[in-house]
């Protein structure tokens, strides 16, 4: 596989970005008073996850690749917290379960990728 190929976890991260933008753009789910605090943070983290996956995939240095993967895993954990917080505080009328499954699926793929990469170091 060449480094320019899109890998499955990257496709899932793209889905996460699209879903996050769609859900958070609805003012019925996320009122304006949360736009510059919670919503901006959630959107930023979803893009950071995608960016870290791209950087990991484009890295030829295995230690650097692991670093980006671990950074993306950390971002997934942060995002799961923020999504859970949204559910508890805002109770949006969107599929939090789907959102949470997307994040958990990405995190699991990243953990497997990290394990496989560490075996090659």
Each residue's pLDDT, cut to its tens digit, for the chain (121 residues) gives: 445 688 999 999 999 999 999 999 988 889 889 888 999 999 999 999 999 999 999 999 999 999 999 999 999 999 999 999 999 988 888 889 999 999 999 999 999 999 999 999 8
Break the chain into its structural domains and give their ranges. Answer: 8-120
pLDDT for position 92: 86
Q: Tokens representing 41? A: 């943070």
- Predicted TM-score (pTM) of the model is 0.93
CA atoms within 13 A on the CB side of 67: 8
DSSP 33: G
Contact assessment for residue 113 and residue 52, using Cβ atoms and an 8 Å cutoff:
no
Whether domain 8-120 has CATH 1.10.3720.10: the reply is no
**Nearest one of 90, 80, 70, 6 to 45, comparing CA atoms:** 80
């Amino acid at each position: 596989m060449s480094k320019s190929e899109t890998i499955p976890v990257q496709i899932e991260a793209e889905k996460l970005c699209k879903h996050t933008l769609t859900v958070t753009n609805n003012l019925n789910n996320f009122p304006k008073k949360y736009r510059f605090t919670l919503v901006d943070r959630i959107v930023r983290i979803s893009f950071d996850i995608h960016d870290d996956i791209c950087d990991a995939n484009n890295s030829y240095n295995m230690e650097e690749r692991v670093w980006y993967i671990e950074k993306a895993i950390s971002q997934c954990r942060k995002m799961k917290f923020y999504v859970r917080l949204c559910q508890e505080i805002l109770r949006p009328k969107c599929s939090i379960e789907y959102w949470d499954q997307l994040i958990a699926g990405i995190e699991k793929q990243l953990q497997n990728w990290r394990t496989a990469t560490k075996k090659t170091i």
